[in-house]
Amino acid sequence: MERINRWRSHGGWQEVWRHDSQATGTPMEFSVFLPDGEGPKPVVWFLSGLTCTWANVTEKGEYRAACARHGIILVAPDTSPRGEDVPDDAEGAYDFGLGAGFYVDATMKPYARNYQMRSYIERELPALVAAQFPADMGRQGIMGHSMGGHGALTVGLRNPGRFRSVSAFAPIVAPTHCPWGQKALGGYLGSDPAGWAEYDACRLIESGARLPALKVDQGAADGFLDSQLMPDRLQAACAQAGQPLELALHEGYDHSYYFISSFMAAHLDWHAMHLA
């Protein structure tokens, strides 16, 4: 791996790294905040949403003060493979292809060659982080926004025992029932919805998957609330299954980083409580 940038911030170091990924067959970049002090330290992963890279939350998420206070390493991966030879949406749409990997392992050509984001997030990158940084991999949390909230919930549900805490901002909780998810899952995995279930948080919960702690914040003024996000489906699935859920709807907040940054510290305080 190669460190490509570094900044001193909040009693720690904000770094950006690049490496050649075996999972995606491309160079991949991620950011990591390393608070001062001896390790090993708990790790929180942040998965970003459509159109984003690691830079969005790194530059606008306002998480470093809370991470420094709690001694938490925060890792922010990219949202898709990138490069001149990586296939993109044929019409250049924002909700498929580059910047929109949906944290799946694609099976359809031409995307299967590079779009292996599930393997990258679940296996390859954690192994690199464990080897390179003072990370306590026995104390992990995961969080995300929108598409990244979908990623955080499904990664957490598919890997029982790995994460002590899972949280999300405005997550896509039922991608098999919304236009964003149907387009992405159909394009990456094929037209048969039977193969989509492992990438749908509500369906995973209905099938018996559980999380030790789950927190979701949603803006009431989010323009995607009813058409794409559908938090009522998650609430119903959790209630039916007996899955604990802390769900809060915030009046006046939209889908942007103005919303995320307003509640980021509260989420990290919550993760710290579960990672202590």
pLDDT category, 41, cuts 50, 70, 90?
Answer: very high
pLDDT for 82 equals 98
What are the b/e assignments for 211-224, b being 16+ CB within 10 Å? bebbbbbbbeebeb
pLDDT for 71 equals 98
- Please give the Cα distance from 81 to 59 (Å, whole number): 20
Instruction: Give the sheet arrangement for strand 135-145, strand by strand.
Output: 2-8, 12-20, 27-35, 73-77, 41-47, 135-145, 163-169, 214-219, 246-250
Is residue 77 predicted with pLDDT exceeding 90? yes
Q: Which residues contact 138 (CB under 8 A, 6 or more apart)?
A: none
Three-state secondary-structure class, residue 58: helix
DSSP state of 114: T
What number is the average pLDDT over the span 150-160? 98
What number is the average pLDDT over the span 100-118? 98
pLDDT for 83 equals 96
pLDDT digits (tens, 9 = 90+) for 213-262: 999 999 999 999 999 999 999 999 999 999 999 999 999 999 999 999 99
What number is the average pLDDT over the span 133-139? 98
Is residue 199 predicted with pLDDT exceeding 90? yes
Residue 99: give its domain's CATH number: 3.40.50.1820
What number is the average pLDDT over the span 125-143? 98
Tell me what the pLDDT averaged over the chain comes to. Answer: 98
pLDDT for 74 equals 99
So which residues are the catalytic ones?
Answer: 146, 222, 255
Is residue 39 predicted with pLDDT exceeding 90? no
Closest to 207 in 3D by CA, of 216, 196, 191: 196
Range of the structural domain that residue 247 is part of: 2-275
* pTM to 2 decimal places: 0.98
Give bridge partners of residue 141 from the DSSP assignment.
Answer: 44, 165
Overall domain count for the chain: 1
